[in-house]
Copies of this chain bind each other. A is one copy, B any other.
Amino acid sequence: MKFSALLTSAGINIGLCSLFLSLYSLLRKQPGFVYVYFGRRISEENDTNEGSCILDRFVPSPSWIVRAWEYKQDDILSIAGLDAVVFLRILVFSIRVFSIAAVVCVFGVLPLNYFGQEIHPASIHSESLDAFTIANIPEGSRWLWVHCLALYIISFSACILLYFEYKNIASMRLSHIIQSPTNYSHFAVLVRAIPQENGESISDAVQKFFMNYHASSYLSHQVVYRTGKVQRLMSNAEWVYKNLVRLKSTAISKTCVPITYRCGLCGGTSDSFQLYRNEFEPDEKKPCPNNSDSRTKAKECLAAFVFFKTRYAAVIGTQLLQSSNPMLWVTDLAPEPHDVYWSNLWIPYRQLWLRQITVLLASIVFMFLFLIPVTFVQGLTQLDKLQQMFPFLKAILAKTVMTQLVTGYLPSVILQLFFYMVPPTMMLFSAMEGWISRSGRKKSACFKVISFTIWNIFFVNVLSGSVISQLDAITTPKSIPILLAKAVPRQATFFITYVLTSGWVSLASEVLQLFALVYNAVSKYVFRVKDDPNSVPSFPYHTEVPKLLLFGLLGFTCSILAPLILPFLLFYFFFGYVVYRNQIINVYCSKYETQGQIWPIVHNTTVFSLILTQIIALGVFGTKKSPVTMSFTVPLLICTLLFNEYCRQRFSPIFSNFSAQDLIEKDRDDEKHGRMEEIHQMLHSIYSQFPADTINRDVHDANSRQTQQI
């Protein structure tokens, strides 16, 4: 690819970005789209008043950027929780480390590459981009020590920054656990695989077991009912019917006043049917063992939430093997109430390991099936091969603009489109794995998407012009570093365009919320459905974290080989920082918290990127016949591995366990302030299965609207 093709690509992308951003700054001021762009604010703060005058509404302005900057970390912590802060820390870390890398590589490595001797400098405009990569350095060059030094600087600064981020986030997580208001999930334990004896009910079995072995700390329990789709629909229909029958026999005139609901920008009447239902809602809030209505006829499944008197006792309940058969009485700390993934709780515990293996295999198959579109895309960057295969293309591709468009732009767009199907698929896989919490499912999907992205975007693109033919080479582990060393600089230009299209444009479309916008417009103006303030999406960590980590990987691996990518990447991270701040503050709501559990994944992936970079550098120094720099890279590799092991020892247990010390302190604090009684009373209603159910969300909504009015 020529330098001019890169400029074409950059031009198109900058144009697209500007278009999207202008559109955004206009649309966000229109009252019609307020649910698209201020979903979180409306649902959580009821703050819809942007206070803009009419004229201002039709002039694009960058004021939102300033506003996104203004929020401090503590504000974001209180608004969107620790997960959002941790997500932003990924961006901060990336900006820091790639600033250092950009300074070192653009001023140190890039000139060396450009004035290397393999390709003689021509006019910069028609220069092949290879002239900016390490491919331009001749074999045995004495200047390779600069590359080695740059690698050292980048690796060390990355490790130091990573260490402080990990330390910082760990202490944030600890203080968040200690200082945050009562988290009821700390008192609850999900028990699965409850053995039933002699037709005893699940409830009795649970009570008997915990009264026997945990008498001093056991509080109460709540059995989980099976809610398969069909069963749920049937029981709900039955319930609605019964209520309607009862409704007829009661005086309804009092409550049957249509209530006008004003969202601040547009009015609308609420559905009166929902209000009828609402009348019977108090019944629903009763603790489960008491309500002997049709619900209890629902099939009990072999799972229950068990509530303990203290956090400490609950954690003890989860950490110990309960029964001498490890497949019975399996305990896990309960997810937060909103986080419970109810439809997975009925899955028999014995199935889980089979499901996990199946999903693992399915994910791997999916990863390899995806090679087909990737191969196609990769073909596009090698025009000569394509023209050989399809001679009729020659006419079209004769025009320079078309060539530049096809090589510089089309591949990443096609890849991008194919990639939209990956996160939902991975979410589906993770749901099948049987996670008990939504956050767990998302975290697992996140990990799957990361593996998928790194494999399919990085490795497959790097290792192949024609992927399948080179798969043989992949099975020869020893030759991989050399293979990578040859391929990464060659593919660097593709990665730069990938940053431009997938990075910049996807950020711009993220801020514009293209899908949500279209969906909102269609549902409102075509189907006349009212905006629902409770359908605010939660932040899609499983799509955004892998993106950031992939760009981090590209940045590290290309840094000393093709430093031209770094300025583009740095801009991406800056831009992303603003965009994601804005989205977190305005658009997405955080229904549940993992309290920063995503950071270990980020840390490990970043260390993986660093090690990959070092291995590739080893290969490059090998092919350039520079044994000195090679031997200097090996200790760096070992140090990075040791650093990772240290961090794993020092920090990772904090992210998977709670410490006895903290829990006991928090229990004592609550007891001292007399909050324990209150907490114990709340537990049942909070973990009630059915009000949290989808069908009942309407009831809940109607309820909240009513309180809004009052």
Contact = CB atoms under 8 A, between A and B. Distances in A.
Contacts of A657: 320-321
B475 A659 contact: no
Contact of A323 (B472, B476, B642, B661): B661
Contacts of A364: none
A654 B650 CA distance: 28
Interface string A312-344: 000110011111111100000000000000000
A541 interface: no
A174 interface: yes
B475 A664 contact: no
A161 to B, nearest CB: 21
Interface in A345-373: 353-354, 357
A651 B353 CA distance: 14
Given A320-B319, A659-B322, A664-B213, A327 B649 contact: yes
A240 interface: no
A657 B326 CA distance: 10
A659 B320 contact: yes
A327 B662 contact: no
B476 A659 contact: no
Contacts of A645: 353, 357
A650 B651 CA distance: 30
A477 interface: yes
A658 B323 CA distance: 9
A660 interface: yes
B357 A642 contact: yes
A646 interface: yes
A653 B321 CA distance: 8
Contacts of A651: 326
A478 interface: yes
Contact of A477 (B319, B357, B475, B664): B475
A476 B473 CA distance: 9
A509 B190 CA distance: 57
Interface in A656-677: 657-662, 664
B642 A322 contact: no
A478 B653 CA distance: 37
Given A659-B321, A660-B213, A650 B316 contact: no
Nearest to A329: B661
Interface residues of A, number: 37
Given A475-B476, A654-B326, A320 B660 contact: yes
Contacts of A649: 326-327, 353
Contacts of A326: 649-654
A29 B189 CA distance: 64
Contacts of A653: 321, 326
Nearest to A660: B320
Given A319-B319, A357-B642, A661 B324 contact: yes
Interface in A613-663: 642, 645-646, 649-654, 657-662
B320 A316 contact: yes
Nearest to A651: B326
A206 to B, nearest CB: 14
A167 to B, nearest CB: 11
A597 to B, nearest CB: 15
Interface string A236-265: 000000000000000000000000000000
Nearest to A657: B321
B654 A324 contact: yes
Contacts of A357: 642, 645
A649 B477 CA distance: 32
A645 B92 CA distance: 41
Contact of A213 (B325, B353, B661): B661
A330 to B, nearest CB: 10
Contact of A353 (B476, B478, B646, B652): B646
A641 to B, nearest CB: 8
A155 to B, nearest CB: 19
A652 B327 CA distance: 11
Contact of A321 (B472, B642, B658): B658
Contacts of A477: 475, 477
Contacts of A654: 321, 324, 326
Contact of A174 (B320, B324, B475, B660): B324
A354 B649 CA distance: 11
Interface in A395-444: none
Contact of A322 (B316, B322, B476, B660): B660
A320 B476 CA distance: 44
A174 B575 CA distance: 60
Contacts of A642: 354, 357
A78 to B, nearest CB: 22
A325 B659 CA distance: 8
B213 A324 contact: no
Contacts of A319: 316, 319-320
A657 B661 CA distance: 22
25 contacts: A174-B324, A213-B660, A213-B664, A315-B320, A316-B316, A316-B320, A320-B659, A321-B653, A321-B657, A321-B659, A321-B660, A322-B660, A323-B661, A324-B654, A324-B659, A326-B650, A326-B652, A326-B654, A327-B650, A353-B649, A354-B642, A472-B478, A475-B476, A475-B477, A477-B477
Interface of A: 174, 213, 315-316, 319-327, 353-354, 357, 472, 475-478, 642, 645-646, 649-654, 657-662, 664
Q: Which 7 A-B pairs have CB atoms at the shortest separation, nearest pair first?
A: A326-B653, A319-B319, A324-B659, A321-B657, A321-B659, A320-B660, A475-B478
Given A324-B661, A353-B645, A354-B642, 18 more contacts: A316-B316, A319-B319, A320-B657, A320-B659, A321-B657, A321-B659, A321-B660, A323-B659, A323-B661, A324-B659, A324-B662, A326-B650, A326-B652, A326-B653, A326-B654, A353-B646, A353-B649, A477-B477
